[in-house]
Structure 1
């Protein structure tokens, strides 16, 4: 009995997702690496409060993907959710950059910007994180033997970003001078924009299934409803 041969190598879409996730993790872990230091050294929060706030923030970061994944599956699709989530996360970093730029001269405004930035980051992560992981499996046919290796490659991107983010953001931001924390947030924001640009520029060409069909588009029932609204069928 003839068996269908499994192609060698991986689709190029895997490496697009690798780079997209790498820069997003650069952003997330880079910002997290200096967050406690920023709260205690610049905003002058006491350590117990800063620690509890940090824990609440990371907890919500892992909770909101439940909502983001549901909305993507039902309404927006993976692609739109990733782009939206990435842009919202980049905005969050730039809000935190503004906070770190004026914390000394306008502490009340800086406090508002800080909580706004954290909240925005939580929302953006909820849309980004669950959707990019699910797209890896959609690049391959069912029961493809390469899938385990594909997720290994993908998680290497997470590890690379998780290593570079704290190193770069800590190097430019945690210098001993609280005024330099803003550069860490700026670097993280630039990394997030690189993630979105990479995905947006290459998704149509490379993020496709083994049959060549686009992966992660708007769900079929939403497309049908839009088509109905544009071309309503008269009832007789």
Structure 2
């Protein structure tokens, strides 16, 4: 739970609490580290041990199996991460501890030993589980209930996520593929360390958000932790479970980008240029394709949000479930195009 009412006056920047921008950059660097590592993880696993930049030499199937377990645990870890924040630490401390775990995890991955590889993945899973669900809750806690700026605040926050994802695929991807996989893993750790540092420096702007309610002196807040759910809240929980089913399908398909589609970009995509680029030569790193999703979200996200806002002004309301289903249909259509590309590749190779 986050404190969302009776908030004291907060210092503003561009019409929003300064704390929003502290969380913006914290999440931007966290996503930089996470998506940067994700962009090269499977490529590192399948890279031959005899190459100039040797990997582990795993088969595609082995690499995708580990990637699947890793991504599943990252998402599942958010459940205990949120529970720990609500029951023991509060969101603010949970984000701090999550950031520390992430710095440790990415730093350990830079060590060229198998024990370090598995340990690093474990630390990252725990770190994301502590940080990811709680930092979003803190964003909401910066605004009073009913504040019309809240949706815009989340939009700004979400842009930070995609800036981090976009830059990491290009920067970490280039370092990992061209100069050394473990240099790439280490660079992701440096990014997370920068995010953690600015989060610590910005604590004065987060004094009134993300605190543990169990330690609150406010009697109403203490009672809120023990109060049973109302009928309306129980109905919302049912809708939440329905949305879970849709979200599982979406993220299961979305995460193919870092796994199967990453291998496809590496092995079955013509990435050669007719000219040479600085640092990479004339071959585009396969990891660069991971940046496209974030780039399109940055360019198109505002337009899509504006479309739904205009519909709302006209009295044409669309539920969150409807939007999620529409998104699933659009995403599914994208896989039809991928199947056509695969058929074309097979025909050319025949």
TM-score, normalised by the number of residues in structure 2: 0.55
2:212 aligned residue: 218
SS at match of 2:202: helix
Whether contact under 8 Å (2:31, 2:164) holds in the other structure is: yes
Whether contact under 8 Å (1:75, 1:219) holds in the other structure is: no
Question: Please, which of 172, 176, 188 is the counterpart of residue 175 of structure 2?
Answer: 172
- Counterparts in 2 of 1:83-232, with a 5 A limit? 83-99=96-112, 110-175=113-178, 180-203=180-203, 205-208=204-207, 214-221=208-215
SS at match of 1:98: coil
Instruction: Give distance in 1, aligned partners of 2:79 and 2:98.
Output: 14
Q: Indicate the RMSD between aligned Cα atoms, in angstroms.
A: 1.7
Whether contact under 8 Å (1:91, 1:120) holds in the other structure is: yes
Q: Deviations over 1:39-65 (max 9, x none)?
A: 111111111010111011011111101
Instruction: Give distance in 2, aligned partners of 1:111 and 1:185.
Output: 14
What is the number of residues matched between the two proteins? Answer: 199
Alpha-carbon deviation of 1:77? 1.0
Unaligned 5+ segments in structure 1 are: 1-6, 100-109, 209-213, 225-236
Alpha-carbon deviation of 1:222? 8.0
Greater CA radius of gyration, 1 or 2? 2
SS at match of 1:174: helix
Distance 1:54 1:142, change over 3 A: same
TM-score, normalised by the number of residues in structure 1: 0.80
Give the ranges of 4+ consecutive aligned residues of structure 1 lying more than 6 Å apart after TM superposition: none
Q: Deviations over 1:78-114 (max 9, x none)?
A: 1111111111111111111003xxxxxxxxxx22221
1:234 aligned residue: none
Whether contact under 8 Å (1:29, 1:166) holds in the other structure is: yes
1:20 aligned residue: 26
Distance 1:75 1:222, change over 3 A: farther
Distance 1:112 1:223, change over 3 A: farther
Distance 1:95 1:206, change over 3 A: same
Alpha-carbon deviation of 1:218? 2.6
Q: Deviations over 1:12-67 (max 9, x none)?
A: 11111100100000000000000011111111111101011101101111110110
Instruction: Give distance in 2, aligned partners of 1:153 and 1:218.
Output: 25
Q: Deviations over 1:162-216 (max 9, x none)?
A: 10111110111111x6xx111111110001011111111112x2124xxxxx211
1:65 aligned residue: 78
Higher relative contact order structure (alpha carbons within 8 Å, sequence separation ≥ 6): 1
1:230 aligned residue: none
Instruction: Give distance in 2, aligned partners of 1:202 and 1:141.
Output: 21
Q: Does residue 52 of the first structure (1) align with residue 65 of the second (2)?
A: yes
